[in-house]
Amino acid sequence: SQKIEQNSEALNIQEGKTATLTCNYTNYSPAYLQWYRQDPGRGPVFLLLIRENEKEKRKERLKVTFDTTLKQSLFHITASQPADSATYLCALDPSAGGTSYGKLTFGQGTILTVHP
Amino acid sequence: KAGVTQTPRYLIKTRGQQVTLSCSPISGHRSVSWYQQTPGQGLQFLFEYFSETQRNKGNFPGRFSGRQFSNSRSEMNVSTLELGDSALYLCASSRGDSDPSYEQYFGPGTRLTVT
């Protein structure tokens, strides 16, 4: 069966450290993967997209990797701050070749807490 | 640019009733997707509309329906409400044309409680 799993339900780290979140998928062949941030009581906010032919993408303190052999994406936040505390969701297009407009399958999310 | 707006923000209904939720996308966005978010199941895709046509549908019963108007605004309807329909209903808009990978912009959601 198809699954998208974010390995850690919760991750606690100290301010200044690098947070690494994992997203694994089974029986999908995603053309791309997206990462979102969700704060309590709010809708998810788009952070980064990485395509299947890209190994790594960066945006300020954020870095995403995509390994289609391992069927895994890693999301890193460097020099983490308490303001980075939120739930982080990975999402992919469940259709082969990434042709499914407007339809994303989401992981369960990882709750990140950055302690001062 | 104004973000995605959803009304109402909170709703309490009784089992058996029906409910209509509304979503106004970002100006210029023609695709509107709806998702249900619960603690147990996470975010699950309901359906997507583009230019008043449903392009994609998730695995939800027929009690869940939607529509899109010519101004891209969208509504979703849930008939014969069940306790399990209690959830945060999120609407997301995107450009919706040429590239399916366009990011989605989510609204704040409508918190539906069924008693």
Residues in chain A with CB shorter than 8 Å from the CB of B48 are 101-103
Of A31, A102, A106, the CB nearest to B96: A102
**Residue A24 to residue A70: CA distance in whole angstroms:** 8
Position with higher pLDDT, B98 vs A44? A44
- The per-residue pLDDT for A101 is 77
B20: pLDDT strictly greater than 70: yes
Give me the pLDDT at residue A97, please. Answer: 67
For position A98, what pLDDT does the model report?
Answer: 65
Q: How far apart are CA A88 and CA A110, in angstroms?
A: 5
Nearest CA in chain B to A104: B45
Residues A20-37 have pLDDT tens digits of 999 999 998 888 999 999
CB contact under 8 A, A100 and B104: no
Q: In this structure, what token pair is assigned to residue B35?
A: 């998702």
**Number of alpha carbons in the 13 Å side-chain half-sphere of residue A88:** 28
Chain pair A-B, CB pairs under 8 angstroms: 72
Q: Any chain B CB within 8 A of the CB of A102? A: yes
pLDDT category, A57, cuts 50, 70, 90? very high
SS3 content of chain B, % helix, strand, coil (to 5): 5, 50, 45
Q: Determine the pLDDT at residue A31.
A: 86
With cut-offs at 50, 70 and 90, classify the pLDDT of residue B96.
confident
Q: Is the pLDDT confidence value at B95 over 70?
A: yes
